[in-house]
Amino acid sequence: MNKINYQNELDKIIEKNISEGKIPSLLLHACCAPCSSYCLEYLSRYFNITVFYYNPNISLKEEYEYRLNEEKRLISLMDFVNPVRIIEGEYKPKNFYDAVKGLEDEPEGGKRCVKCFRLRLEASAQKAKELGADYFTTTLTISPLKNAGLLNNIGAQYAEKYGVNWLYSDFKKKEGYKRSIALSREYSLYRQNYCGCIFSKNAAQK
């Protein structure tokens, strides 16, 4: 089976909106400022963006808040073609621990991460629906450590369930990941050395 090029899917959606003279609204689930940097630079040319910081997986609370503040700082510093605003989701780590129960010892990229993606993307679909956003997507596909196919499948499933449009993406294409590193340097962004949950933190310290 041919692998889908999700960047091509995104290109098609952008081209269609341009040809119709539209600047649609987008709910962009964001995991952290470094991953958001390129996604915002790129997507704000074509969308009005609401960044949705929803990451109950992040441990500890101080780390969660630090990443959130970096996200806000980045948005305040960058110049955007179209407006970007940020809203915060509920920080209830219990929701994450309940979702990944029994999968605590899974390696990064395994079954625990699937549950973590589901938790965050379902909440994003619900928020996009509530706000009447034209599309929703996530910055997570920029990471070389994350499976873009899996993220796009999950996103598309929740899009169907909640009646909102999923914006396909693979932000690491077009040198997106490289650009995020350059932008992180330019804005002196905090780049964490673990994904987010306590299990990934413990694994990074081994």
Residues at the interface with ligand SF4 (CB under 6 A): 57, 108, 112-113, 116, 195-197, 199-200
The H-assigned helical ranges of 20-60 are 33-43
- For the bound state, the minimum distance from the C-beta of residue 18 to ligand SF4, rounded and expressed in Å, comes to 33
Residue closer to ligand SF4, measured from CB, 67 or 112: 112
- For the bound state, the minimum distance from the C-beta of residue 119 to ligand SF4, rounded and expressed in Å, comes to 8
Which of 173, 170, 206, 177 has the alpha carbon at shortest distance from 191? 177
- For the bound state, the minimum distance from the C-beta of residue 138 to ligand SF4, rounded and expressed in Å, comes to 11
- For the bound state, the minimum distance from the C-beta of residue 140 to ligand SF4, rounded and expressed in Å, comes to 8
- Cα distance between residue 151 and residue 194, in whole Å: 19
- Cα distance between residue 11 and residue 143, in whole Å: 19
- For the bound state, the minimum distance from the C-beta of residue 100 to ligand SF4, rounded and expressed in Å, comes to 6
Number of alpha carbons in the 13 Å side-chain half-sphere of residue 85 = 5
Calculated CA dihedral for residues 95, 101, 106, 107, nearest 10 degrees:
10
- For the bound state, the minimum distance from the C-beta of residue 197 to ligand SF4, rounded and expressed in Å, comes to 3
Identity (one letter) of the amino acid at 22?
Answer: K
Q: Name the helix (H) or strand (E) containing 24.
A: none
Residue closer to ligand SF4, measured from CB, 86 or 116: 116
Residue closer to ligand SF4, measured from CB, 183 or 197: 197
Calculated CA dihedral for residues 35, 36, 38, 44, nearest 10 degrees:
160
Residue closer to ligand SF4, measured from CB, 83 or 107: 107
Residue closer to ligand SF4, measured from CB, 28 or 197: 197
Residue closer to ligand SF4, measured from CB, 116 or 142: 116
Residue 198 neighbours by CB under 8 Å, 6+ apart? 59, 60
- Bridge partner list, 52: 29, 87
